[in-house]
Amino acid sequence: MKKNEISILGSGLIGSLLSIYMKKRGLDVNVYEKRPDNRKGQYQEEGRSINMALSDRGWNALEKAGLKEKVLTLTIPMYGRKIHDEHGKTSFIPYGKEGQAIYSISRGRFNQLLVDEAEKLGVNMFFGHKVEDVDLRTNELTITDANGSQEKIFSNVIIGSDGAYSALRNAMLKQVRFNYKQEYITHGYKELSIPPTEDGEFAMDPNALHIWPRGSFMLIALPNPNKSFTCTLFLPFDGERVCFENIRDEKDVTSIFETYFDDAYKIMPNLKEEYFKNPTSALINIECYPWMLKSALLIGDASHAMVPFYGQGMNCGFEDCFILDELVEKFGTNAWELVFAKFQKKRKKDTDAICQLAMENFEEMRNEVSDPKFLIRKKIEAKLHSLYPKDWIPLYTMVTFSNMPYSEAYAQGKLQEKIMDKVMSSPLISQNWDKLDYEDILYQMDKAKAV
């Protein structure tokens, strides 16, 4: 039987970055991926997001792996949200201070880069190798290759970065006292596109994340380097007037888009074809604990899949890799149980916090951003941040543009939210927001923190 030092399940974004970290620690690293090699042209996204937003926590982890500069060339900065109302009027809400941005990147291209870099370092990548089962008593993997042959592989260490439907987690589920919770939300998503204009340009501002918030549903769009945009339509599956179940033919698609997203509709020539060709995918939140059993560990979406409304799933998974590597650096490569125990203890409260924030942010994205008061609220918080940069940091900034533990960001964000709710309840706030007693708002915050 083949014997591995370390086996990583899944070569998605998290598994491939982790394999780079582990190889750099001098280990013999083997990655098993059930899909074919996506660098060979047969790759299908299978309804997973085509492009995604990379932010500070992700950059931090990439920088430590020496990859920041290479990845930067694949990205497009988005400095804020561009909100489209039902009449096609737009308004811009910056994400942070001037120059702060989140970065749009193609999932497929990014994954290819990480796999290339891993292979250059000497990571053994096995594509078309599906992990069928993991025996946690003997540390044996049962793997089927692309020809259908099965083999058993022993591994000292097993790390499951095999996503929301993890095979390693399935094996852990059979253990006593393993907690597991999964929740599908009411909404699903479908990816669509806005191609470049006839003269080969972006059809909208490329340096923004575009949102068409419509209460119980929304459309968003992120730019791609080929001057197209990938749009994601989030709708309830059923039970509402506008829902996937009620869109049955091209007439329905046209009617929904003309009514609610008319400015986007005009620049989506392939809409009707794409709508029926592209899959409708579900959105899941997964929490489980413990994440380890002896020398096996879950990481990334396998341990904490979240809904995508804070744009943090991948960033959080990259931060997992960063933190795990710090522990390996501290305790060495012969103390895996200790490293894994410390990792899950440190990290669980933070991933719980970001899973919760991701759920809550859905409401903000699809509904609140279209309220003129939301813009005022953001302006007041930006002013507070510029006056007291250390004492008042908007929640979005703490999550997206800092490496503060998510649980601390969550706690501070909740205190700030209460104070801001009070500030916003003044009937004249739209007129006098600039003349507020900002020092008093900070005083309220200090008082709340002291309790």
Ligand X SMILES: Cc1cc2nc3c(=O)[nH]c(=O)nc-3n(C[C@H](O)[C@H](O)[C@H](O)COP(=O)(O)OP(=O)(O)OC[C@H]3O[C@@H](n4cnc5c(N)ncnc54)[C@H](O)[C@@H]3O)c2cc1C
Which amino acid makes up residue 325?
A: D
Residue 257 contacts residue 271 (beta carbons within 8 Å): yes
Residues 13-72 within binding reach of ligand X (CB under 6 A): 13-15, 32-35, 48-49, 52-53
Closer by beta carbon to ligand X, 51 or else 416: 51
Q: Does 167 bind ligand X (CB under 6 A)?
A: yes
Number of residues that bind ligand X (CB under 6 A): 32
Q: Does 9 bind ligand X (CB under 6 A)?
A: yes
Closer by beta carbon to ligand X, 232 or else 412: 232
Q: Which of 80, 96, 163, 405 binds ligand X (CB under 6 A)?
A: 163
Residue 219 contacts residue 233 (beta carbons within 8 Å): yes
Q: How far is the CB of 85 from ligand X (least distance, A)?
A: 23
Q: Does 109 bind ligand X (CB under 6 A)?
A: no
Q: Which of 19, 285, 315, 400 binds ligand X (CB under 6 A)?
A: 315
Pick the stretch among 68-76, 161-169, 359-367, 429-437 that binds ligand X (CB under 6 A). 161-169
Q: How far is the CB of 166 from ligand X (least distance, A)?
A: 6
Q: How far is the CB of 329 from ligand X (least distance, A)?
A: 22
Residue 211's closest CA among 237, 187, 229? 229
Residue 112 contacts residue 127 (beta carbons within 8 Å): no
Q: What span, in angstroms and rounded, lies between the C-alpha atoms of 12 and 19?
A: 11
Q: Which of 301, 325, 350, 381 binds ligand X (CB under 6 A)?
A: 301
What character string, x for contact with ligand X (CB under 6 A) and - otherwise, covers 242-281?
Answer: ----------------------------------------
Q: What span, in angstroms and rounded, lies between the C-alpha atoms of 63 and 329?
A: 16
Q: How far is the CB of 330 from ligand X (least distance, A)?
A: 24
Q: Does 287 bind ligand X (CB under 6 A)?
A: no
Q: Does 233 bind ligand X (CB under 6 A)?
A: no
Residues that bind ligand X (CB under 6 A): 9-15, 32-35, 48-49, 52-53, 130-131, 161-163, 167, 189, 232, 300-301, 308, 311-315, 317
